[in-house]
């Protein structure tokens, strides 16, 4: 029962825009009270080095931040899933 098709919360790797499930607890980084998930250690380190470069937001409103985030994601991937490795 490890593989579930039911909708789970999906996080987006802010560095490469890959979708990351919360199962991947190995590559997380908490910044400004928010936990980010990454597909790999290299992405986590890149974010850790300069989080603001990847966020580009003052994150006053989480929803606005997330909406812009998804917009950028759609532009970056063209709606397709993407791999950075
Ligand atoms: Zn990545």
Distance 17 CA to ligand 1 centre (A): 7
In-domain check, residue 21? yes
Q: What is the pLDDT of residues 20-70, one digit of tens each?
A: 987 767 899 999 999 999 999 999 999 999 998 898 755 445 556 777 777
In-domain check, residue 19? yes
Question: Please, which pLDDT band fits residue 85 given cuts at 50, 70 and 90?
Answer: low
In-domain check, residue 2? no
pLDDT at site 21: 86
In-domain check, residue 15? yes
Whether the per-residue pLDDT at 80 is higher than 70: the answer is: no
Distance 56 CA to ligand 1 centre (A): 17
Q: Which residue has the tokens 């590559």?
A: 27
In-domain check, residue 60? yes
Domain count, the chain: 1
Distance 24 CA to ligand 1 centre (A): 12
pTM: predicted TM-score of the whole model, two decimal places: 0.56
In-domain check, residue 44? yes
Distance 38 CA to ligand 1 centre (A): 6
74 Cβ contact partners less than 8 Å away, ≥ 6 residues apart: none
**Boundaries of domain holding 19:** 11-77
In-domain check, residue 70? yes
In-domain check, residue 66? yes
What's the CA gap between 64 and 78, in Å, rounded? Answer: 21
């Amino acid at each position: 029962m490890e593989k579930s098709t039911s909708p789970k919360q999906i996080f987006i790797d802010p560095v490469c825009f890959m979708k990351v499930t919360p199962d991947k607890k190995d590559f997380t980084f908490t910044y400004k009270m928010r936990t980010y998930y990454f597909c790999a250690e290299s992405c986590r380190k890149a974010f850790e080095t300069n989080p603001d470069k990847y966020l580009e937001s003052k994150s006053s409103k989480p929803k606005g931040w997330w909406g812009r985030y998804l917009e950028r994601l759609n532009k970056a991937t063209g709606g397709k899933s993407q791999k950075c490795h």
